[in-house]
């Protein structure tokens, strides 16, 4: 090594940024394809190695890295996860564009407060600003929990629409599957009359996106599979090679009732499926993703389409359960019939607030349906990442909003 290189190396701590000139040559090592024979190295920005929380050749646990949201992206593993996230984002946009969907930016701030989707964040001008006493928007305003109803508006103009943006829940949860701010991919399809057609799009989205990611950044996926989730590669291939399964809610409850396992929540027709139940069902289905369809009407929100069955009254709803993550997609046919919807709204005391939504059924209604997919859960599922906080650049949850 030449003398002037040593000078640079003396200043060169781990974490520094450098400018290197040299020749890119085939590497003799098996662990890399090429290496750079440096002729000139210049330190662009040196690094205070003593205080730098990332250490040379150390494999830091993901929990440790979470303390440093401004630096953790510089590690191999976060770098790989975030590149996969970027590729998956592009792949999802492509999937919908290739299939003729129109992209819609559904609103983040909304005056819809009563969809019943859980805890809401409210939005007001910062207290530092002097404003008149009434609300900035004249009405109470909230962060969106779903773009679905706004997508339904758009599905009256464009046959197929999708949105891909942030959604919010003020849930007091530290779970490895929940965030206060997370991303949802949502789609709505007009002239769609059965769950079968909807499930086909859901399965297509999952498989096409995943194949694209695997082919566009194989090394990044492999790094996660190798160092974080051994065995995940085979589990994912198994999911991609086979057809997703379909069972009804009623069948699911029967399966759970016959299980030898003792559940904390006793499985019963009419009750919600809990995480323990979802896990069991996925395992029961050979660790394949499984669609659960036709849920009790009483469990689901007003907009889902009444199956008019009896004695067990259900709606045309569908959830997709996947290994490791549980619920990944939720969807349904929407109640497009004016009088059915009117009755559901009246029953929920929402008639006045949802007059505009009823209007969609008064003026040229069409059968339609749609779904939402949790994007972070999707990433957890394909990469095998246990904690949702590690697949988003800046996680927000109870007691934490760093940076």
133 Cβ contact list (under 8 Å, min separation 6): none
7, 40, 59, 74: residue in contact with a copy of itself (rule CB under 8 A): 74
State yes or no: residue 124 binds a copy of itself (CB under 8 A).
Answer: yes
Q: CB-wise, 166 or 207, nearer to a copy of itself?
A: 166
Q: CB-wise, 85 or 277, nearer to a copy of itself?
A: 85
State yes or no: residue 131 binds a copy of itself (CB under 8 A).
Answer: yes
Instruction: Give the integer Cα–Cα distance in Å for 306 and 51.
Output: 61
Q: Using CB under 8 A, which of the segments 3-11, 23-31, 153-161, 344-352 binds a copy of itself?
A: 153-161
State yes or no: residue 305 binds a copy of itself (CB under 8 A).
Answer: no
CB 379 within 8 A of CB 85: yes
State yes or no: residue 252 binds a copy of itself (CB under 8 A).
Answer: no
Decide: helix, strand or coil at residue 273: coil
State yes or no: residue 83 binds a copy of itself (CB under 8 A).
Answer: yes
Instruction: Tell which positions 86-115 bind a copy of itself, by CB under 8 A.
Output: 86, 89-90, 93, 97, 102-113
Instruction: Tell which positions 257-296 bind a copy of itself, by CB under 8 A.
Output: none
Tokens of 267: 């499985």
Instruction: Tell which positions 352-371 bind a copy of itself, by CB under 8 A.
Output: 356-357, 359-367
State yes or no: residue 340 binds a copy of itself (CB under 8 A).
Answer: no
Closest CA to 375 of 356, 365, 388: 388
Instruction: Tell which positions 198-237 bind a copy of itself, by CB under 8 A.
Output: none
Q: Using CB under 8 A, which of the segments 26-34, 124-132, 235-243, 251-259 binds a copy of itself?
A: 124-132
Instruction: Give the integer Cα–Cα distance in Å for 331 and 21.
Output: 54
- 314, exposed or middle or buried, with CB in 10 Å at 0-12, 13-18, 19+? buried
CB 277 within 8 A of CB 296: no
State yes or no: residue 173 binds a copy of itself (CB under 8 A).
Answer: no
* Max CA distance (Å), the chain: 87
Q: CB-wise, 126 or 310, nearer to a copy of itself?
A: 126
Closest CA to 327 of 371, 288, 373, 391: 373
21, 27, 46, 175: residue in contact with a copy of itself (rule CB under 8 A): 46
Q: CB-wise, 291 or 303, nearer to a copy of itself?
A: 303
Instruction: Give the integer Cα–Cα distance in Å for 118 and 100.
Output: 32
5, 62, 73, 117: residue in contact with a copy of itself (rule CB under 8 A): 73
Q: CB-wise, 220 or 319, nearer to a copy of itself?
A: 220
Instruction: Give the integer Cα–Cα distance in Å for 341 and 306.
Output: 9
272 Cβ contact list (under 8 Å, min separation 6): 299
């Amino acid at each position: 090594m030449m003398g002037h290189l040593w000078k640079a190396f003396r200043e060169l701590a781990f974490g520094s940024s450098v400018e290197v000139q040299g020749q890119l040559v085939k590497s003799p090592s098996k662990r890399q394809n090429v290496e750079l024979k440096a002729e000139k190295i210049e330190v662009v920005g040196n690094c205070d190695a003593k205080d730098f929380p990332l250490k040379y050749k150390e494999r830091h646990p993901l929990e440790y890295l979470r303390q440093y949201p401004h630096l953790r992206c510089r590690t191999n593993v976060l770098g790989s996860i975030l590149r996969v996230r970027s590729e998956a984002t592009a792949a999802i946009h492509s999937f919908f564009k290739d299939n003729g969907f129109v992209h819609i930016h559904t609103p983040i701030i909304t005056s819809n407060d009563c969809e019943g989707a859980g805890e809401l964040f409210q939005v007001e001008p910062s207290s530092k600003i002097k404003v008149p006493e009434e609300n900035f928007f004249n009405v109470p305003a909230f962060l969106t929990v779903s773009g679905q109803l706004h997508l339904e508006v758009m599905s009256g103009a464009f046959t197929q629409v999708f949105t891909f943006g942030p959604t919010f829940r003020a849930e007091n949860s530290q779970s490895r599957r929940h965030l206060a701010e997370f991303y949802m991919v949502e789609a709505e399809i007009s002239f769609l009359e059965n769950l079968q057609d909807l499930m086909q799009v859901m399965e297509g989205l999952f498989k096409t996106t995943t194949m694209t990611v695997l082919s566009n950044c194989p090394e990044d996926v492999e790094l996660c599979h190798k160092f974080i989730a051994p065995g995940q590669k085979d589990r994912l291939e198994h999911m991609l090679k086979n057809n997703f399964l379909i069972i009804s809610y009623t069948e699911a409850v029967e399966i759970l009732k016959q299980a030898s396992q003792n559940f904390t929540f006793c499985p019963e027709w009419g009750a919600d499926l809990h995480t323990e139940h979802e896990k069991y069902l996925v395992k029961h289905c050979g660790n394949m993703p499984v669609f659960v369809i036709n849920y009790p009407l009483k469990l689901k929100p007003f907009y889902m389409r009444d199956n008019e069955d009896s004695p067990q009254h259900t709606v045309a709803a569908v959830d997709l359960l996947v290994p490791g993550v549980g619920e990944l997609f939720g969807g349904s046919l929407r109640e497009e019939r004016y009088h059915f919807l009117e009755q559901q709204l009246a029953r929920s005391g929402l008639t006045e607030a949802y007059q505009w939504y009823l209007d969609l059924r008064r003026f040229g209604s069409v059968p339609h349906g749609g779904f939402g997919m949790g994007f972070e859960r999707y990433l957890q599922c394909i990469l095998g990442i246990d904690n949702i906080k590690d697949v988003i650049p800046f996680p927000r949850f109870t007691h934490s909003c760093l940076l």
